[in-house]
Chains A and B, each alone.
Chain A
Amino acid sequence: MAVEKMALAKAINESLRRALETDPKVLVMGEDVGKLGGVFRVTDGLQKDFGESRVIDTPLAESGIVGTAIGLALRGYRPVVEIQFDGFVFPAYDQIVTQLAKMHARSLGKVKLPVVVRIPYGGGIGAVEHHSESPEALFAHVSGLKVVSPSNAGDAYWMMQQAIQSDDPVIFFEPKRRYWDKAEVNTEAIPGPLHKARVVREGTDLTLVAYGPMVKLCQEVADAAAEEGRSLEILDLRSVSPLDFDSIQASVEKTRRLVVVHEAPVFFGSGAEIAARITERCFYHLEAPVLRVGGYHAPYPPARLEEEYLPGLDRVLDAVDRSLAY
């Protein structure tokens, strides 16, 4: 069967399995990815089937993980590394920003670094600090990196294939609170381009733009709005860098209103970039300023406050109301 319902984590597992099977140069690396199968079990069973030289438990050192992955890539391998949680990518940030992102340019295109950095990200799972953050803007700001985030199992499966096949480094943000959500995965589909946004739902009154964990929330928002007679269009960006501005523009030209939703802090976030560009591109189409819903300019709060911090149904609906009120 080419179409199967599976959880998002399982879809990534299947995708990694396929990559390991089809390309002997693909490696999976990270802390606890072997016997344990990763703390979220995304790499479950891979070491058993592909051995310790393909699925590598690394020392507890993120700079080391990314730095050696760069070396392996220089030698012709295609490492897929796991950073255990969002907040732990920072020891590796130097390697990612100063080396991984820049080497292709510095070598005048001679060197390619097909490295995928997988990062479970975002909140909503009641974790302690540094386990719930959304640092995608910090990476999108850096040229030389691609930054993507699937929102469902089917996309996760194919986007991982495409990320591994990409000759550029890809920061692959996995929405950890959606790991257990099931969706259909067609392992024989011909996927669209990695960076193309997807219209999740058509609508006429307002466009909601989201990616990763917030796409599901936007679907709930659109359902709730529909009960009030409002027709919302939802765009799942799938990629934060590059950003598919054409798809957003097309949608905004139709609905004339845009609300961007992400978990990361709004200030200097990806919504700011979207708002600025769309204002530029669609100035005469817009009936309202582009609004953003996201986190505050404050540290990610302790678990008992995260529901206040994270965008929820009401906060997005509130923004929808404000936009429609213009």
Chain B
Amino acid sequence: MTVESTAARTTRRSAGTTGGTAGKRTTAKSTAAKKPAAAKKSPSGEPELVQLLTPEGKRVKSAAYDKYVTGITPEDLRGLYRDMVLTRRFDAEATSLQRQGELGLWASLLGQEAAQIGSGRATREDDYVFPTYREHGVAWCRGVDPTNLLGMFRGVNNGGWDPNSNNFHLYTIVIGSQTLHATGYAMGVAKDGADSAVIAYFGDGASSQGDVAESFTFSAVYNAPVVFFCQNNQWAISEPTERQTRVPLYQRAQGYGFPGVRVDGNDVLACLAVTRWALERARGGEGPTLVEAYTYRMGAHTTSDDPSKYRADEEREAWEAKDPILRLRRYLEASNHADEGFFAELEAESEALGKRVREAVRAMPDPDHFAIFENVYADGHALVDEERAQFAAYQASFADGEGA
């Protein structure tokens, strides 16, 4: 897959605050052609999307979205940078822990830090987040201790955190399911007359699932305060986005009757602004929004995956030039918003986080054998009690055997 074809996958522009709902475009016919429509490129050859920071770290103006980041201070910017750096460090640590056999599997977010930190920092404490399985950066923003995310990847639990303590739901492995949960939750928020919002994360591959289509239908019909945040990282394991869709994903929203916007997913500021806008719409009773964060999965799908089977190295290299962390660093440096001392301190903090994660994982105890029978039912169940007792007797029989 060349750089050209990556850019070529992206076609239409997002149109300001109403994104893909404008309906003026004459795309319907061209996309109905027999072959996937040859994607139109913008004059620059790059996908057109909401962007506030260029890959070179230059601040660009956006009439529609600047107002969502006007109050942002240099300290806030350094905070976003810190979030991204620490999240990347955590992720790198988890990847190496997997290689050392400490984790059974890891789904890396490398390259998606801006999409996650930008959107995650846009949420309010009383908002509710429904992640898939790669939202380590969003979890960070929600105050979930990153070591809590590792239990399921180590194989000691199937989730392991209380979703209600940070309004951050459990990871969902079955693709797309959580978008319906988010929609239902949002329907509940609206019924309660609360003014919080809900955000659901999913991938470009997930957009093909029936559950996702149904969540669009329900959220539109009930005007649910939910933001669908699709991280289009270009791949669903080995399948490129064009294996899932013939129109840019954000345009899907139009058919359901709510706005869709494509944002530069490697631009943390733009992700923050667009998500704030979408969450405010939700809070204001204006219903759902689809945000497509156009980004890139720099690593393998998971540590079990071998991307060399299906994609060229040049593609990753082209995206490395758009690295979200590098981009903000350039901006911070050029605008004198951060000095050497800040970066050095952060490096030290990052080292400390790495160490903490390593130690926490190694210290994580294996679960008690009886955990198999715990929490199967809230009210209990006679069969589970019986099987637990049989299991106990069986375990005890070994102890006797050893003693004898």
Chain A residues engaging chain B, CB cutoff 8 angstroms = 31-32, 34-37, 39, 57-61, 63-64, 87-88, 90-91, 126-131, 267, 296-299, 301-305, 308-309, 314-315, 318
Contact of A298 among B208, B372, B398 (CB under 8 A): B372
The 4 closest A-B pairs by CB, nearest first: A303-B155, A36-B238, A59-B208, A60-B205
Q: Which of B30-38, B52-60, B119-127, B376-384 contacts A (4 or more CB under 8 A)?
A: B376-384
**By the criterion CB–CB under 8 Å, are B384 and A128 in contact?**
no
**By the criterion CB–CB under 8 Å, are A31 and B239 in contact?**
yes
**By the criterion CB–CB under 8 Å, are B173 and A297 in contact?**
no
**How far does the alpha carbon of A127 sit from the alpha carbon of B152 in the complex, in Å?**
10
14 residue pairs of the A-B complex, CB under 8 angstroms, read: A32-B237, A36-B237, A39-B304, A57-B238, A63-B210, A87-B173, A90-B174, A126-B155, A131-B173, A296-B373, A297-B384, A299-B158, A305-B366, A305-B367
**By the criterion CB–CB under 8 Å, are B372 and A309 in contact?**
yes
State whether the Cβ of B209 lies closer than 8 Å to any Cβ in chain A.
yes
What total of A-B pairs shows CB separation below 8 Å? 118
Contact of B387 among A58, A91, A296 (CB under 8 A): A296
State whether the Cβ of B117 lies closer than 8 Å to any Cβ in chain A.
no
List 8 additional A-B contacts (Cβ < 8 Å) besides A59-B208, A61-B209, A90-B174.
Answer: A57-B238, A59-B239, A64-B208, A296-B372, A297-B384, A301-B371, A304-B366, A308-B391
**By the criterion CB–CB under 8 Å, are A128 and B173 in contact?**
yes
Quick one: CB contact mask for B144-177 with A, threshold 8 Å, 1 for yes? 0000000111111110000000000000011110
Quick one: CB contact mask for B236-278 with A, threshold 8 Å, 1 for yes? 1111000110000000000000000000000000000000000
Interface size of B as a range: 35 or more
**By the criterion CB–CB under 8 Å, are A129 and B238 in contact?**
no
Contact of B243 among A57, A90, A126 (CB under 8 A): A57
Chain B residues near A127: list those with CB within 8 A.
104-105
State whether the Cβ of B50 lies closer than 8 Å to any Cβ in chain A.
no
Chain A residues near B304: list those with CB within 8 A.
39
Interface residues of B in 349-404 (CB under 8 A from A): 366-367, 369, 371-373, 376, 381, 383-384, 387, 391, 394, 397-398
**By the criterion CB–CB under 8 Å, are B243 and A59 in contact?**
yes
Interface residues of A: mostly helix, strand, loop or mixed?
A: loop
**By the criterion CB–CB under 8 Å, are B238 and A32 in contact?**
yes
B160's nearest neighbour on chain A, judged by CB, is A302
**How far does the alpha carbon of A314 sit from the alpha carbon of B397 in the complex, in Å?**
11
A41's nearest neighbour on chain B, judged by CB, is B309
Most buried by B among A60, A87, A309, A318: A60
Chain B residues near A64: list those with CB within 8 A.
208, 210
Interface residues of B in 83-111 (CB under 8 A from A): 104-105
**How far does the alpha carbon of A305 sit from the alpha carbon of B152 in the complex, in Å?**
12
A58's nearest neighbour on chain B, judged by CB, is B243
**How far does the alpha carbon of A60 sit from the alpha carbon of B211 in the complex, in Å?**
11
Chain A nearest CB: distance from B146 CB in Å?
17
**By the criterion CB–CB under 8 Å, are A302 and B174 in contact?**
no
